[in-house]
Structure 1
């Protein structure tokens, strides 16, 4: 892998795109949809020849979308494309019913629906989308691929990027001995990102504590394994369905990084050690390994090359934060990169992608590390595990953990005095639509509950970048007006008569007249 290309090679593709995205996973596809929605030409290069994989299907492919991801899909008219959650059983199938229904976990410690005090989330309205939704990787990718294709995105499968060269004006990407040129290149190509490595991005962090195993097997005596998620003296194991296993063994990630084949005998030995049983496996159908290595790119941009998703940050899958973190990257980056390409970006707009998303990544990596820490097979960790368990069984504790896992309290430091500034916009119910339904076109919104003529004039100065919407909402939360970015985060809000000067200053940070 290198960052230069041979300009004398044959099969040069001279077609120029606005953006080339490496990786056709959910993050790359969602970013492509955002860019294409804004009128950019996009090419996705994906090394896998086919999108299908058993690891993307149930039960291995199950993924939980948090509140922010559900909102993002809803705001782009994609939520109705996801059907699986409507017919799936409770994923915590051994998690109780009613108030004791398990709705999430931290390090394998469940929190329960009845313990969560949703009144603490004062800006969530009855019309808000769900705080979480169960889907699978294949369903998500299928929905996003269909939308991307409709928007004109080109997807080339079986194309492995082997190098790129960038100038002040463009990036030339080499893949399969062909050359593709674009104004920007975004690496959404996972934890082993070819773009990140070729671009020389520093990837700082911590080494793994365990090797994780995901496998489908035949078990001679499944009754020897306890149902649900089990944290033991040597690790953790879970059987989500008969024969579908997830195991963690604290070996410092040694087996994952070794060249040893993953055999039936090895998996049985690991399961016996972790479960402290003499369970017998009779067949191994499919298996993969993973670790809790936690690393993050020290910058998300080098010239005309950017990173998003697992290419920018990796961590343990505990708690299901990785996909949601990546989708948040895509939602944040898409409109900013499109505005930059179209010459509509105020100074520093693209830099705000790193400034806003890198700290969120830091929080998620630390959240992952904290879970691993209290799962370690040692007395000090077990003592802390017990303390956390007791806290999670309190109302305030369960509410705190739920808000973190579901992303309900996510906040960007955007300045301004109103407590809603920097937070996801509530789903206000207007006369004919909710605010989420009015965001399908990806435009910014100046929402005016007081129907101020001056605000309509101001919105008009920003042309197609900013829509003016006025009227009353069923519950206005005491607000008079607010400025909503294309990603659904509030850039400015007021409960009183709007101060036009402060609004102009806020608008000028995100839009160009």
Structure 2
């Protein structure tokens, strides 16, 4: 079927209107490039929808500042100033983040709302919802991106396309990219509730024999609890998460003030290649990173910053076809570092007993020594991105 006639020659079509696609749209708009962000969902997620990602690391905050929403993110977010690791009620180590390296906590859906509002005022970039891309045709000098919407088929012409359409990326499939698994796989349950810890700016990591329990402050006096479990629960409710938290940590968990809990399996993949011809992948479409450690969303924003530079340079040089070679190499290297970091985080949080437990606790104590804290802070705030 022939698509409807949108005769605009876009510089870029961005497929996916999540956190990464919206940020890239804002960056392209800042340069005055003509682009369109297409999203298959007709409406943004409602305000009450649970959000898996909350941690904004320094590289992510710089990317949001470049997109024009950094000040508002800082205003709304909670600053995580320090962290503490415990086991069986004893402190194994603590870490205070330097001012330039602090993590900000703000749910992903709120960040997306800010980016979408910013994009709404752009002159050269549009957000088009309700369009699902099903094909890309390379015309040699440009691409035709084929999509279906409520009003029928639509064809969009563009010099480049970016797939920022998530872990189940259709653009990755259209590219024929391989989705290679990498080390690290585990199951977790998660719930948000009122913060009764008395430590509203501290990340708490309980490395318990039965598995890690992590908790992080959130805006509005809330706190997120994440617990590793041996297998995905068949029936999950708030009481079950509260029981896990209390049995391992002794911490009070207000079930009446809690959100609907979720269960997820953390797994890791990287696309090979991440870019080919005039098409590149970004965010979860390019690499699935375990959310333990909060790396995935920030890594995707760094992808967008890199793509923004590459696209601007290519368009200034009359849009060569071989623009994404350096991007592909650099982002696969960054994804590999993130995969290794996340795999380490998951190993540290695995159930342990006897000698392995004692060895893990000793390792945490060493990492918490004054001479090692700077290295640990740089690693966990993702300044290597």
Normalising by the residue count of structure 1, what TM-score does the alignment of the two structures yield?
0.61
Give the aligned partner of residue 120 of structure 2. 149
What secondary structure is seen at the aligned counterpart in 1 of 2:43?
coil
1:293 aligned to 2:276? Answer: no
Distance 1:347 1:52, change over 3 A: closer
1:183 aligned to 2:159? Answer: yes
Give the aligned partner of residue 192 of structure 1. 168
Partner Cα distance (2:303, 2:230) in 1: 31
Larger radius of gyration: 1
Partner Cα distance (2:277, 2:246) in 1: 50
- Contact 2:215 2:223 survives alignment (8 Å): yes
Distance 1:338 1:302, change over 3 A: same
- Contact 1:336 1:350 survives alignment (8 Å): yes
Give the aligned partner of residue 40 of structure 1. 33
Q: Show the 5 A alignment for 1:429-444.
A: none
Give the aligned partner of residue 200 of structure 2. none
Give the aligned partner of residue 162 of structure 1. 134
Partner Cα distance (1:323, 1:393) in 2: 26
- Give a deviation string over 1:395-428, Cα, whole Å, max 9, x none: 2221111111223355xxxxxxxxxxxxxxxxxx
Deviation of 1:351 (Å):
1.4
Partner Cα distance (2:119, 2:93) in 1: 37
Higher relative contact order (CA 8 A, sep 6+): 2
Give the aligned partner of residue 250 of structure 1. 230
Structure 1 gaps, min length 5:
1-7, 92-100, 119-127, 411-513
Counterpart of 1:399 (choices 365, 368, 374) is 374
Q: Show the 5 A alignment for 1:63-462.
A: 63-75=54-66, 77-85=68-76, 88=78, 91=80, 102-103=82-83, 111-113=94-96, 131-152=102-123, 153-168=125-140, 169-176=142-149, 177-181=152-156, 182-206=158-182, 209-215=185-191, 228-238=204-214, 245-251=225-231, 262-264=235-237, 268-269=239-240, 272=243, 276=247, 286-343=260-317, 350-379=324-353, 381-410=356-385
Give the aligned partner of residue 501 of structure 1. none
Deviation of 1:187 (Å):
1.0
Deviation of 1:359 (Å):
0.8
Structure 2 gaps, min length 5:
198-202
What secondary structure is seen at the aligned counterpart in 1 of 2:260?
strand
Of 359-368 and 153-162, more deviation after overlay is shown by 153-162
Normalising by the residue count of structure 2, what TM-score does the alignment of the two structures yield?
0.79
Of 324-333 and 229-238, more deviation after overlay is shown by 229-238
Q: Show the 5 A alignment for 1:7-46.
A: 8-9=1-2, 11=4, 13-46=6-39
Length, aligned pairs only? 362
Partner Cα distance (1:295, 1:207) in 2: 8
- Contact 2:283 2:303 survives alignment (8 Å): yes
What secondary structure is seen at the aligned counterpart in 2 of 1:82?
helix
